Amino acid sequence: MDYTTILQELNKASLFDLHRLQSAIYQELLNPKRIEQIKAQLKIGQSISYFDPKSNDLIDAVILKFK
């Protein structure tokens, strides 16, 4: 995805459009099918990267256990 283009388009969006997008994204983040697809691919000892919103960066990690 080209995040620069997405951000440029979001700057043109109305608050109503932004709210609708926020709602749609939130629903997809909670989509049980998507979550199960991801969980099925994860293994103990696997190297992964995850996004840390505080640092706005990807963090490298290794899966030690599942909760």
Q: Round to whole Å and give the CA distance between 23 and 32.
A: 16
Average pLDDT over residues 57-65: 97
Query: What is the per-residue pLDDT for 58?
Result: 96
pLDDT in tens, 22-55: 999 999 999 999 999 999 999 999 999 999 999 9
Look up the pTM and report it: 0.64
Check pLDDT > 90 for residue 67.
no
